[in-house]
Amino acid sequence: MQITVDGTEHELDVESGMPLLWVLRDELGIKGVKYGCGVAACGACTVHIDGEAVRSCQVAAGDVWGPVTTIEGLGSPEALHAVQAAWIEHQVAQCGYCQSGQIMQAAALLAETPAPTDEDIDFAMDGNLCRCGTYPRIRAAVKTAAKTLQEG
């Protein structure tokens, strides 16, 4: 089985039913992708497949239909994606554990809806649980990122 993650192709020998989340974390060592619930109820495991935000805990390894981008491929501390830069500017994170998923969800939203309304943001981000309650800053950071991306 072959999958492409963050621009690198990988040959895998795993059960086709193993969730992508665990392929990424345990087989490929990409720990930026987080496990929170395993049942599509928290969004911590969000990655992009072909640019679309998906819950990697719900995608079987055998069903991955396109190139995967994780938080580690979106940008790095040295080369931040605009959403990551906005997250840092607003100092969104508390424990930070949900933020990989929040950022991936927000990046996909902005790719599709460059100038989201408050309702758009609420709707797109509602599946991403933050137990620390950083929601006000998530909203603000999404708006800042939208601005940067539009100006950029």
Contacts with ligand FES by CB under 6 A lie at 35-38, 40-45, 55, 57, 93-99, 130-132, 134
Beta bridge partners of 54: 47
Nearest to 99 by CA among 77, 126, 121, 128: 128
Nearest residue to 55 (alpha-carbon basis) of 67, 75, 38: 38
User: What's the CA gap between 72 and 68, in Å, rounded?
Assistant: 11
Contact call for residues 119 and 109 (beta carbons, < 8 A): no
Query: Quick one: which segment of 48-56, 107-115, 116-124, 143-151 binds other proteins (CB under 8 A)?
Result: 116-124
Residue 114: CB minimum distance to other proteins, A: 20
Binding mask 52-91 for other proteins (x = CB under 8 A): ------------------xxx--xxx--x---x--xx--x
SS3 9: strand
Contacting residues toward other proteins, per CB under 8 A: 15, 18-19, 21-22, 25-27, 29, 31-39, 41-42, 44, 70-72, 75-77, 80, 84, 87-88, 91-100, 103, 121-123, 125-139
